[in-house]
């Protein structure tokens, strides 16, 4: 049943949200975040423990909890997103120092210089198919506008057809793409697609 009449409430994330945010980050990144976290763990440490601590404590980390917006329905966590304004001009980065699987994302981020990059967005499984995606995307556009830009960008994998349809329905258009680079545990293929939307 679609709950079109249910309006989500949005708030800034708190430290208490970090467990949920870690899950959302990995869901949105289709397991790449967990893989990258696994390269940094100490002996015996869970990759999700590491990722949660990064999100909870590292203020220099893009995914630091204070950079997230949380969507709620009747005080229950529904989903979340975070993003940032992409530098323009884009700084020179040594791609050799970037994990190979993440290089397509960095290359596409450069193409989106000056836009607000919606880096991660996801809804918990039990709340999908209820018409909430548009509300999260509208809130992301509002945050982007407040950041001082008239363009919002995101990246999605070609195999993620459900997400691509949702983004297209909400006014995003393809701008560029790069071949997807596999990492251990990945089952995806195709391209990584950069999509953008003009906002008022």
* Per-residue pLDDT tens over the stretch 123-174: 999 999 999 999 999 999 999 999 999 999 999 999 999 999 999 999 999 9
The parent domain of residue 77 ranges over 9-198
For residue 151, being part of any structural domain is answered with yes
State the residue for tokens 């590491």. 50
* Residue 4 lies inside a defined structural domain of this protein: no
- Give the pLDDT mean for 81-104: 96
Question: Looking at the domain assignment, is residue 135 inside a domain?
Answer: yes
Which run of H or of E encompasses 72? strand 68-73
d(CA 48, CA 71): 22
DSSP H helix total and E strand total for the chain: 6, 7
Peptide bond into 89 cis (omega under 30): yes
Which token pair is 16?
Answer: 């208490």
Residues 72, 148: contact at Cβ < 8 Å?
no
Count of domains forming the chain: 1
CB 48 within 8 A of CB 38: no
8: Cα within 13 Å, side-chain hemisphere: 23
Task: Report the CATH number at residue 174.
Answer: 3.40.630.30
- Interval 170-191: pLDDT, tens: 999 999 999 999 999 999 999 9
Q: What does pTM read for this prediction?
A: 0.94
- Whether 54 is covered by a domain: the verdict is yes
Strands laid side by side in the 68-73 sheet? 9-12, 68-73, 76-85, 116-123, 151-157, 191-198, 173-179
The pLDDT of residue 1 is 38
Is 182 a domain residue?
yes
């Amino acid at each position: 049943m679609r709950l079109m009449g249910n309006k989500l409430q949005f708030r800034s994330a708190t430290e208490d949200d970090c467990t949920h945010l870690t899950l959302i980050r990995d869901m949105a990144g289709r397991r790449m975040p967990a893989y990258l976290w696994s390269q940094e763990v100490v002996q015996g440490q869970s990759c999700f423990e590491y990722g949660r601590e990064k999100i909870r404590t590292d203020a220099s980390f893009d995914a630091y909890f204070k950079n997230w917006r949380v969507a709620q329905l009747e005080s229950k966590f529904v989903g979340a997103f975070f993003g940032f304004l992409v530098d323009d001009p884009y700084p020179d980065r040594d791609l050799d120092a970037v994990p190979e699987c993440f290089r397509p994302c960095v290359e596409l981020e450069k193409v989106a210089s000056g836009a607000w990059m919606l880096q991660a967005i996801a809804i918990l499984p039990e709340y999908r198919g209820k018409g909430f995606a548009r509300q999260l995307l509208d809130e992301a556009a509002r945050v982007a506008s407040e950041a001082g830009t008239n363009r919002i960008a995101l990246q999605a994998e070609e195999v993620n057809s459900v997400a691509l349809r949702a983004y297209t329905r909400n006014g995003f258009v393809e701008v560029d793409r790069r071949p997807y680079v596999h990492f251990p545990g990945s089952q995806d293929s195709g391209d990584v697609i950069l999509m953008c939307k003009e906002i008022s």
